[in-house]
Chain A
Amino acid sequence: MIDRIPSGFHPFVIPFLIGMAFVLLYCFGAMIRVLYELSWQDRKKFFLSLLNPKILLKDIKDIFLNCLIHVPLWKRNKLFGYMHSSIAFGWFMIILLGHIEVLLFVPGRINLFYYPIFFNYFVAEDDVTLRGSLLFFLMDFFLLMIMSGIALAMARRVKNYMFGVKRMARPTFLNVVGLYSLWAIFPLRWLAESFTAHISGGSFLTIPANWLFRQFLGNELYMLPTWWAYSIALCVFMCVLPFTRYMHIPAEMLLIPMRNAGLKVRSSRKGFARVEFFSCPNCGVCIDACPMTVDNGNVKDCTVYLTRQLRRGNEERIQEISDKCLLCGKCEALCQVGVEGPGLRILERARRDYTVPFNYPAADKSVDKNHKVLYFAGCMTHLTPSIGRNITELLRKANIDFTWLDQQGGLCCGRPMFTAGRIAEAKAIVANMEKLILESGCDTLLVSCPICYKMFREQYNLPGVEIVNYIPFINNLINTGRIKVEKSDICYVYHDPCELGRGCGMYDEPRKLLGRSAGIAEAQQNREESICCGGSLGSLSLDFAQRENMTKAALDNLYTSNADAIATACPLCQATFARYADRPVKDIAEIVNQQVI
């Protein structure tokens, strides 16, 4: 290979250079801005993590697996995964191989930024091409891989369901420009390389094309226009990139090291949150995941639209979207890049001003002292009293020394206040509750509501007190032989409550307990894909009537199991389902208590 153009320059590289300079400057500026917005502790944490070889290695591995290979997408749908990794990994390999070619054949040109990209234009084949034939083959191979990915992307516009995704976010104008320019880049590169293949060599893709074009077009005339077009397509793509969903490509490379460094979102607009909402690739997985989008309603209130409006700074829509969400967490569980939809919304709610202050009303509450176990039922259990009654019966049967903290009601764990974004007010509730629980001198706090359980686990500081959910507690009672259960012949389908499953990661314990006392069936969508019952207290603005379809859709999912009855582990889910279900809805505590021998 030898240099064909002595100066090593042609004006057609200018559009590419403009686009590249723009996108690099923009991303560099954005990174500086994000780092500036972090608190100094977070910034220190982030920089220290980059010095830690273990975390750094994890960063590199995660970036490679997530950004290039798209492993989470492969797990979701093979075709969807191939489409993304063929484009991302193929493009990366083409750039890498371009640099290797320059280093091997014309090492003096490596300082020219554009040389690896437009290599085939600037060189000519000499008599020792055999050395390059493997590289040429690989170049064509990866180009073919990318073009197959782009063909799939085009097919996706027509047959979306093939990719396991039913709905996509509506693209904005600039997203369409970005999409078409991205689609144009690789066919244009193939054409450009084909027209120069008789000069600079090629492989199985470019040489036959070169031969074909020679038959009826001739190559010289079309050489320059296609190289120009290729460069312009690159320029357009890179110039619109910061304003489109493709910003997720650079943003994710910052998001992964930041997350590995242990950073958390502290504000819904700045710092880490900014990286998060720029990392949203608008894939639309959250639209299908969202329980609110049943019958195509509320589609514009999904997390993908939250990130879009946060980027735009559309205050009215941000408020509407963040108030409506049920905070079930399914979008976060299924998100390919890990955008914390519920967390961002809670922080967004925390920005509101309230003119009426909160005064903790139950400060003079007292509790029976010196019992080992303190049972806390929570507000929702008071609406479904049979759960509390069955749990206390079970405790008595097992001879547990316990007292019921909120038998007379009047206490809230603070979770609803917390999810409403009134963090300081929630902290006031927490502080009073902590005092009350520690005063009781108990060593175990037994909680029968997953909403409270999540709050106790995450926001309470109770030294010397073990916080347990009733499911593992009862399991333990059976394990230690304090109660015995026999299996009934009724078959239940277990509904994973959002706060217990996705919220606390408890999926197997309830199934184990239920399996001991009854038959068990699985719904079509279960575990982390379980559908919110629609009764969630997370939503502030959804009205009762608007929730009906969501509950019915969640029930339809449970009916797919053909079970005789529905079992759940959350009083709120039970109350919500019982309203519309055509079969009994029971709490696991009720089922177990019936089966005690």
Chain B
Amino acid sequence: MIDFGFTLSKSSTVDLNKVDRSRYDQLVKLVPTARMCMNCGSCGATCTVSEYKGMSVRKVLTGIQRGEDVRPMLSSCMLCGKCTMVCPRGINTRNLVLTLCKIYD
């Protein structure tokens, strides 16, 4: 490999045709308000554990829509409910996290 003095970063393209969205579909069936997320990030900004594990319900939601593994974030949630209180769309975030913790296999 020739050293050009720079490297190419890994592609971050998400091919929505190829990702597994089954978990997201399952989730919105059980927690319909999950559809209402507009990615404002209020949940992550208030999150008690975001400083430790980067937890944010917004990231969890985008993550499962892209078929990523969000279990490290889910397993750190203490269910304190601050994200529920600040969510401008009224998403039941605690129920969302608990449901995901249940349906992940």
- Chain A interfacial positions (CB closer than 8 Å to B): 323, 352-359, 361-362, 379-380, 382-383, 408-412, 414, 416-417, 420, 422, 429, 535, 537, 540-545, 572, 575
Q: Is the CB of A383 within 8 A of B90?
A: no
- Name 18 interchain pairs, CB-CB below 8 A, sorted by A: A356-B74, A356-B100, A356-B101, A358-B76, A359-B75, A359-B76, A379-B80, A383-B46, A410-B52, A412-B79, A416-B78, A420-B79, A429-B78, A537-B80, A537-B81, A540-B94, A543-B33, A544-B90
Q: A383-B85, A412-B78, A416-B79 are contacts. A541–B95 as well, Cβ < 8 Å?
A: yes
Q: A362 contacts which chain B residues (CB < 8 A)? A: 49, 52
Number of residue pairs across A and B with beta carbons under 8 Å? 96
Q: Is the CB of A382 within 8 A of B82?
A: yes
Q: Does B4 sit at the interface, judged by CB under 8 A?
A: no
Q: Does B92 sit at the interface, judged by CB under 8 A?
A: yes
Q: B56 contacts which chain A residues (CB < 8 A)? A: none
Among A361, A362, A541, A544: residue with most chain B CB under 10 A: A361
Q: B102 contacts which chain A residues (CB < 8 A)? A: 352-355
Q: B49 contacts which chain A residues (CB < 8 A)? A: 361-362, 410
Closest chain A CB from B100 CB (angstroms): 7
| Docked pose: A285 CA to B1 CA in angstroms | 79
| Docked pose: A474 CA to B42 CA in angstroms | 33
Q: Is the CB of A542 within 8 A of B92?
A: yes
Q: Does B104 sit at the interface, judged by CB under 8 A?
A: yes
Among A410, A429, A544, A575: residue with most chain B CB under 10 A: A544
Q: Is the CB of B92 within 8 A of A544?
A: yes
Seed contacts A420-B79, A544-B90; 11 additional CB < 8 Å A-B pairs: A353-B102, A355-B102, A355-B104, A409-B48, A410-B51, A417-B79, A422-B79, A537-B94, A541-B92, A543-B33, A544-B87
Complex: chain B residue closest to A352, CB-CB: B102
| Docked pose: A242 CA to B94 CA in angstroms | 40
Q: A352-B102, A354-B102 are contacts. A543–B90 as well, Cβ < 8 Å?
A: yes
> B residues 14-72 with Cβ under 8 Å of A?
33, 46, 48-49, 51-53, 55, 71
| Docked pose: A361 CA to B48 CA in angstroms | 10
| Docked pose: A482 CA to B102 CA in angstroms | 52
Q: Is the CB of A358 within 8 A of B48?
A: no
Q: B80 contacts which chain A residues (CB < 8 A)? A: 379-380, 412, 416, 537
How extensive is the interface on chain B, given as a class?
Answer: 20 to 34
Q: B74 contacts which chain A residues (CB < 8 A)? A: 356
Q: B75 contacts which chain A residues (CB < 8 A)? A: 356-359
Closest chain B CB from A540 CB (angstroms): 5
Q: Is the CB of A356 within 8 A of B104?
A: yes
| Docked pose: A359 CA to B84 CA in angstroms | 21
| Docked pose: A408 CA to B48 CA in angstroms | 9
Complex: chain A residue closest to B55, CB-CB: A361
> B residues 86-105 with Cβ under 8 Å of A?
86-87, 90-92, 94-95, 98, 100-105
Q: A379-B80, A416-B94 are contacts. A535–B85 as well, Cβ < 8 Å?
A: yes
Q: A542 contacts which chain B residues (CB < 8 A)? A: 92
Contact residue among A383, A410, A411, A543 (Cβ-Cβ distance under 8 Å from B86): A383
Closest chain B CB from A504 CB (angstroms): 20
Q: A359-B75, A416-B78 are contacts. A544–B91 as well, Cβ < 8 Å?
A: yes
| Docked pose: A515 CA to B74 CA in angstroms | 45
Closest chain B CB from A487 CB (angstroms): 33
Instruction: Report the 3 A-B pairs with minimum CB-CB distance, sorted nearest first.
Output: A544-B90, A379-B80, A361-B76
Q: A352 contacts which chain B residues (CB < 8 A)? A: 102
Q: Is the CB of B92 within 8 A of A543?
A: yes
| Docked pose: A380 CA to B90 CA in angstroms | 17
Q: A356-B101, A361-B78 are contacts. A544–B71 as well, Cβ < 8 Å?
A: no
Complex: chain B residue closest to A579, CB-CB: B85
Q: Is the CB of B81 within 8 A of A379?
A: yes
| Docked pose: A414 CA to B78 CA in angstroms | 7
| Docked pose: A572 CA to B84 CA in angstroms | 11
Among B49, B51, B85, B103: residue with most chain A CB under 10 A: B85
| Docked pose: A466 CA to B84 CA in angstroms | 32
Q: A355-B104, A545-B90 are contacts. A410–B48 as well, Cβ < 8 Å?
A: yes
Closest chain B CB from A497 CB (angstroms): 15
Q: A382 contacts which chain B residues (CB < 8 A)? A: 46, 48, 82
Q: A352-B102, A410-B52 are contacts. A380–B82 as well, Cβ < 8 Å?
A: yes
| Docked pose: A416 CA to B78 CA in angstroms | 7
Closest chain B CB from A539 CB (angstroms): 9
Q: B48 contacts which chain A residues (CB < 8 A)? A: 379, 382, 409-412
